[in-house]
Structure formats: C-alpha cells, structure tokens
C-alpha cells in the first residue's frame, strides 16, 4: 500500500481566507442593479461554502482508511501519531463541512426573493460570520491533521515482495550493510542510535525484486520499556520480515557487550517465528571461532555468502509477504 499523497492541510484561518477571497472574485450579470447584487451575493455564498466542502472532503479522502491498511501501517501510524485521534479529527471535519453547506443553503434561500440591498448585504455578512465560526471550531483538528500528515508522509512505501529485516544492537553496522546490499541509503555514523526509523532499500536478482529494511538499534530489554524508536524496529520484525538478519558486533566497538547482544538475539528468536540468520560483523577487526557467518560490511568480506543464505530462505517463502 502506498501512503496516498496528502495535501497540506490549511489552518482554519487560511481555509476561511482562501474560500472567501475566491468567492469575492465572482460577479454575476444582470441589467437590473438589485438583481445583479443579489445574484452575486448568492453565488459568493455558494462558492465559499463549496470551497470549504470540497477542500475538507479532499482531506478526508486523501488520508488512508486505517481500517483497511496492512497491520504494519496501522501499528506504525498508531505508534507515531494515534490513529484514534486521526479518525476523530476526520469526523470533526466531516461535521464541519456539512454544517457549512447547510448554513450556505439556508442563507441563500433567505435572500433569494429579497429586493432590499441592505438586507442582502447584512444577511451575507451574517452567513460568512457563521461559516467562519464553524470552521474555527475545528482549528485544533486541522492543526493536528497537518502534523499527522507530516509524519505519515515519512512512513516508507512497503511492497508485497520478499523482505529481509536487518536487526541488532545499536552501532553494530546494520545501516552500512543495508547500503552495501541494496539501493537504500541510510545514514551511517560511529555513534549509536543513528537510525531513528525504519527505511527501505531494494535489490534485484534474476529480475526478482527484494526489499531490505534497516531498523533502529534494539537494546536487550522488555517491550514495555522500549521507546518509540525501538518499537519501530519491533514492528518491522513482527509484520514485515520474511527473514531476519541479526547482526552481532563481537568486537564490542559498538559500545555494548557481546552477552547483551546475544540475549537480544535469543529473545528475538523466541518472540518471532521467522528464520533468523546470525551474522558477526566487523570481521576485518576480529574474527571469532564461533560457528556463525562472519562478514565485514566495511570490506565486503562474507557478504556474498550471506546473500546466498538469505536467498535460500526467501526462495521457500510464501507468495504473500506483507502480513495483515
């Protein structure tokens, strides 16, 4: 699923200003002055109400239907934003645009037979005032939806193709490996917690496309103690991985002891029933005598062998990859 293109969501003041400004450019024709005045007032009221109605409908339909998105999107959106609050805000927008239309329709009916210029002028002013006040009532919802939009836009596009999730402690070399094996360009740095969200890269072998997911580093602690950054890694493991490549840094240059890294590995193996490939990285510095595959994301040593293992597992994966 692709997060649909969501337009910038205007503030209530911007919404009011734009729709009234657009309406003010309308003028209608009639040989008789009062008719011309009346027709113009009606057209302007209708235009303002319609602009608000259409704009808000656009917002409602451009946000994803959270009842129908794959679990990963739902849970990530809920983690980053709060899906229930989005739904409530969209409900408020829907309410607002209906009331605005009603005010417009009722108001134009009241002036449609009038020949009194003052009456029409005052009525129009009153209608504009009521429309403004209804739109202002949803100021907070509009602001909230705009921040939600910013966050939703940063959620990567996940395809329903075989997926490798790279996981491990912080600073062990996950992002460098993702850069080496895929089109992904995550930031690399010599300090922990460089990666703050999930990101995607791809590679192709024999015309078949694969997806590689870089995740933030995880510490060895229970789920309830994990912060929002770590929880994103957990969501990727749970909902996206067809195989997990678990990176260990036996040099401990990452800043974390090996035994803590191994506890995390065991925890992941216990929690997810997904094949885990255990890899020791930074073998350019230290190559242990453990039976695990040794690689160096820096010098590329062992990476071909790793890819063979990965493909061996993914070849036998089911055809539906994105879990729901």
175 touches Mg ion by CB under 5 A: yes
How many Å apart are CA 100 and CA 7, to the nearest integer? 21
231 touches ligand GTP by CB under 6 A: no
How many Å apart are CA 102 and CA 49, to the nearest integer? 9
215 touches Mg ion by CB under 5 A: no
Q: Which residues ranging from 183 to 202 are in contact with Mg ion (CB under 5 A)?
A: 194-195
The binder of 189, among Mg ion, ligand GTP, none, by C-beta within 5 to 8 A per type, is: ligand GTP
Task: Indicate which single residue of 93, 96, 135, 297 sits in contact with ligand GTP (rule: CB under 6 A).
Answer: 297
Task: Indicate which single residue of 201, 217, 250, 275 sits in contact with ligand GTP (rule: CB under 6 A).
Answer: 217
195 touches ligand GTP by CB under 6 A: yes
The answer to whether residues 197 and 33 touch, using CB atoms and an 8 Å cutoff, is no
285 touches ligand GTP by CB under 6 A: yes
Distance of CA 308 to the CA centre of its chain: 33
Please tell me whether residue 134 adopts helix, strand or coil conformation. Answer: helix
The answer to whether residues 34 and 117 touch, using CB atoms and an 8 Å cutoff, is yes
Q: Which is nearer to ligand GTP, 41 or 245 (CB)?
A: 245
Please name the residue ranges forming H helices in the chain. Answer: 12-24, 33-62, 71-80, 83-111, 117-136, 139-153, 174-181, 228-239, 258-271, 303-315
The H or E element that residue 278 is part of is strand 276-280
Task: Indicate which single residue of 19, 51, 171, 242 sits in contact with ligand GTP (rule: CB under 6 A).
Answer: 171
From 31-39, 55-63, 268-276, 279-287, span contacting ligand GTP (CB under 6 A): 279-287
182 touches ligand GTP by CB under 6 A: no
From 6-14, 68-76, 108-116, 172-180, span contacting ligand GTP (CB under 6 A): 172-180
Structure token pair of residue 265: 């590995």
How many Å apart are CA 220 and CA 231, to the nearest integer? 12
Cβ at position 173, least distance to Mg ion in Å = 8
The binder of 281, among Mg ion, ligand GTP, none, by C-beta within 5 to 8 A per type, is: ligand GTP
Q: Which is nearer to Mg ion, 175 or 281 (CB)?
A: 175
Helix axis angle for 33-62 and 117-136, nearest 10°, is: 10
* Binding region for ligand GTP (CB under 6 A): 170-176, 188-190, 192-195, 216-217, 281-282, 284-285, 296-298
* Binding region for Mg ion (CB under 5 A): 174-175, 194-195
């Amino acid at each position: 699923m692709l997060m649909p293109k969501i337009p910038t969501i205007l503030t209530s003041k911007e919404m009011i200003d734009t729709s009234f400004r657009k309406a003010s450019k309308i003028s209608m024709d009639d040989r008789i002055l009062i008719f011309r005045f009346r027709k113009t007032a009606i057209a302007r009221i209708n235009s303002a109400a319609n602009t608000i109605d259409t704009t808000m409908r656009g917002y409602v339909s451009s946000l994803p239907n959270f009842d129908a998105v794959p679990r990963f999107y739902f849970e990530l959106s809920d983690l980053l934003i709060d899906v229930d609050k989005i739904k409530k805000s969209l409900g408020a927008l829907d309410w607002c645009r209906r009331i605005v239309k009603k005010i417009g329709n009722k108001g134009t009916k009241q002036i449609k037979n009038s020949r009194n210029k003052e009456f029409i002028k005052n009525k129009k002013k009153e209608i504009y005032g009521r429309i403004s006040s209804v739109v202002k009532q949803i100021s907070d919802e509009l602001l909230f939806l705009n921040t939600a939009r910013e966050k939703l836009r940063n959620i990567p596009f996940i395809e329903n193709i075989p997926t490798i999730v790279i996981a491990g402690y912080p600073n062990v070399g996950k992002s460098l490996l993702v850069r080496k094996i895929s089109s992904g360009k995550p930031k690399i740095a010599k300090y922990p917690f460089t990666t703050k969200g999930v990101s995607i890269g791809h590679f192709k072998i024999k015309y078949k496309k694969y997806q590689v997911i870089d995740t933030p580093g995880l510490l060895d602690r229970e789920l309830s103690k994990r912060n929002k950054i770590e929880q994103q890694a957990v969501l990727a493991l749970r909902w996206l991985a067809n195989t997990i490549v678990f990176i260990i840094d036996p040099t401990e240059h990452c800043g974390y002891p090996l035994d803590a890294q191994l506890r995390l590995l065991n925890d992941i193996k216990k929690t997810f029933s997904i094949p885990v490939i255990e890899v020791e990285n930074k073998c350019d510095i230290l190559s242990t005598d453990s039976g695990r595959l040794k690689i160096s994301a820096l010098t590329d040593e062992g990476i071909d062998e790793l890819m063979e293992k990965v493909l061996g597992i993914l070849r036998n994966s089911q055809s539906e990859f994105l879990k729901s």
